[in-house]
C-alpha cells in the first residue's frame, strides 16, 4: 500500500474538517443541491468526454495509487542479475522454474525459457510497455478532466445560487439558502479538484514513469540474458538506469 497517497488524502480531509469545526457547526457546510450540481455535473461531463469502459478502468488504475507498492529499480536489477547467473550456469531452460516478484519479469523469463528469438522478445515486451503506458495515460486523462470540471461546475452552482438570490430579494428567508448554494458549490469544486482528482492524476503519472523505468530495466536484462552477457557486465549496464547515488546503493547491496 502506498502510505503517502493515503496519508495525504486523509490528513488533507482532516485538516479541512478541523478548520470547519473550529469556525462553528459542520452542518452548515453540507448542502445537497450544491453537491448534486458539482458531483453530478462532474460525473456527467466525464461520461460525455470518455467511454464508460475508460471511466471504470481509470478507477481500477487509481486503486493502484493506494494499494500497489512499486518494486524499487535496485531490487529489479539485483533480481535480473541473479537470473543471469542461473542462465549462465544451468541454461535458459532453468529460468522457467524461477518465480519473479514482478509479472512483467515472469513474462520475460517465460519468453527466454521457451526459446523465443531476440527480436520477438524485444517486440513483445516493448508492445506490453507501450500498451500499459497507454492505459495509464487514459486513467490520468480521466482524473485531469474531473479536476478541470469540478471547479467549473462549482462556478455554475455559484451562478445558480446568485440567480436564485437575486430573484427572491423580496423574501429575506430565501436569501440564505441561495447564498449557501452560491458559496458552497465553489468550495466543493475546489476541494474535489485540488484534494482528490488532480493529485491522483499526478500520482498516476509518477507511478507510470516508475513502472516504465522498471519494465525498461527488465527488457534490457532479458535481451542481455538471451545474448549470454555475463552477470557483472549486465549489472554495470543496468545501473545506468539509476542515479549515481542509487548506483552506489546497488554496489553496497551486492557486497553484502
Domain residue extents for the chain: 31-74+116-255
The model's confidence at residue 250, banded by pLDDT at 50, 70 and 90, is low
| pLDDT, tens digit (0-9, with 9 covering 90-100), for 23-41 | 777 777 888 888 999 999 9
Share of the chain above pLDDT 70, in %: 93
* pLDDT confidence of residue 46: 93
- 170: which DSSP letter? T
**What would the grid cell of residue 117 be?**
528469438
Share of the chain above pLDDT 90, in %: 36
Q: Is the pLDDT of residue 65 over 80?
A: no
Q: How many residues does the chain have?
A: 256
Name residues whose C-beta falls within 8 Å of residue 63's C-beta, 6 or more positions apart in sequence: none
Helix, strand or coil, per DSSP, at residue 18: helix
The answer to whether residues 143 and 201 touch, using CB atoms and an 8 Å cutoff, is yes
For the whole model, what pTM was predicted?
A: 0.80
**What would the grid cell of residue 109 be?**
523469463
| Helices and strands, counts by H and E, the chain | 11, 0
| pLDDT, tens digit (0-9, with 9 covering 90-100), for 187-235 | 999 999 999 999 989 988 988 898 999 999 999 999 999 998 998 899 8
The answer to whether residues 201 and 150 touch, using CB atoms and an 8 Å cutoff, is no
| pLDDT, tens digit (0-9, with 9 covering 90-100), for 152-180 | 999 998 888 888 788 777 777 767 777 77
* pLDDT confidence of residue 253: 47
With both helix axes pointing from N to C terminus, report the angle between 231-238 and 73-90 in degrees, rounded to the nearest 10.
160
Amino acid at each position: 500500500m502506498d502510505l503517502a497517497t493515503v496519508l495525504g488524502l486523509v490528513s488533507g480531509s482532516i485538516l479541512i474538517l478541523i478548520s470547519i469545526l473550529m469556525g462553528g457547526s459542520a452542518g452548515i457546510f453540507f448542502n445537497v443541491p450544491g453537491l448534486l450540481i458539482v458531483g453530478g455535473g462532474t460525473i456527467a461531463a466525464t461520461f460525455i468526454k470518455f467511454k464508460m469502459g475508460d471511466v471504470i478502468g481509470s478507477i481500477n488504475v487509481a486503486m493502484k495509487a493506494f494499494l500497489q507498492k512499486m518494486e524499487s529499480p535496485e531490487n529489479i536489477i539485483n533480481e535480473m542479475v541473479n537470473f543471469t547467473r542461473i542462465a549462465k550456469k544451468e541454461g535458459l531452460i532453468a529460468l522457467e522454474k524461477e518465480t519473479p516478484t514482478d509479472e512483467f519479469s515472469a513474462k520475460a523469463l517465460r519468453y527466454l525459457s521457451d526459446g523465443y528469438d531476440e527480436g520477438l522478445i524485444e517486440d513483445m515486451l516493448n508492445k506490453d510497455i507501450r500498451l500499459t503506458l497507454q492505459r495509464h495515460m487514459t486513467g490520468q486523462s480521466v482524473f485531469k478532466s474531473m479536476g478541470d470540471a469540478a471547479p467549473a461546475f462549482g462556478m455554475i452552482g455559484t451562478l445558480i445560487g446568485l440567480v436564485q438570490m437575486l430573484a427572491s430579494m423580496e423574501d429575506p428567508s430565501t436569501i440564505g439558502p441561495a447564498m449557501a448554494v452560491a458559496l458552497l458549490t465553489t468550495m466543493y469544486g475546489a476541494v474535489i479538484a485540488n484534494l482528490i482528482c488532480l493529485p491522483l492524476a499526478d500520482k498516476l503519472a509518477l507511478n507510470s514513469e516508475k513502472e516504465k523505468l522498471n519494465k525498461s530495466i527488465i527488457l534490457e536484462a532479458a535481451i542481455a540474458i538471451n545474448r549470454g552477457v555475463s552477470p557483472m557486465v549486465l549489472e554495470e549496464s543496468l545501473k545506468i538506469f539509476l542515479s549515481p547515488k542509487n548506483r552506489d546503493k546497488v554496489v553496497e547491496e551486492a557486497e553484502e
